[in-house]
Amino acid sequence: ASYRKDSFTSEYAFGPVARLPLLRRENVELFSEASITRTDRGNRGSFGVNLRVGRGRSTFTGSAGGRKGDETKARIGHFASLAATVHRDDVAGAAVDATAGINSDRPNDYAFAQVDARGRRVALSASVLQQFGSTQGLQYGLRLAQGADDSQ
C-alpha cells in the first residue's frame, strides 16, 4: 500500500498480491503472480509468470503477462521483461551490482542499465534508460550517498 499527498494532489494504491510457486530447483525458480490494485486513478489487475535463474554471481530474470486497468478500457495490455544482474563483492573495496535488460510494456518499450556500488562510507548508483521508437533522448540518473555503513 502507498499514499502520497502534496499541496496539489493525493495519490494512493492498495491491494493484494498472490504468488504461486510452480517450480523450484537448485538455481531455478518459476512462479506465477496475480494482483488487484485500487488506486486514485481506478482499478488495475495483472497476472503473469516470472522466471529467475541464478548461477554463481549472476542472476537472469524474465517475466511475461497481462494487465488490465480502467485506463485500458476493454483490452488487456501485455508486458514482458528480460534482465541480467552480475554481483561482485570486492571491486576497489566496494560491493558492485550491474544490471541490464529490456522491458516491453506497450507503448513504453525500453532498454536499461544500472550499476550500484556500495563501500564502507559511500554508495554510488548510475543508470541509463532508452525508449524504443521515441524522440526522447537518453534518460540517465546518478546518485551519490555518503555515510557510515557498518555492514561491510
Cis peptide before 107 (omega within 30 of 0): yes
pLDDT of res. 149: 54
Residue 117: which of 74, 83, 146, 139 has the closest Cα?
Answer: 146
Q: What pTM did the predictor assign?
A: 0.73
- pLDDT under 70: residue ranges of the chain: 71-75, 148-152
Q: Which residue has the cell 499514499?
A: 3
- Residue 89, by phi and psi: left (phi above 0), alpha (psi -120 to 50) or beta? alpha
pLDDT digit string, tens, across residues 64-105: 999 888 765 656 788 999 999 999 987 777 899 999 999 998
User: Looking at this protein, which amino acid is placed at residue 60?
Assistant: F
Q: How far is the CA of 24 from the CAs of 17, 64, 104, in angstroms?
A: 20, 18, 26
d(CA 93, CA 152): 10
- Which 3 state secondary structure label does DSSP give 78? strand
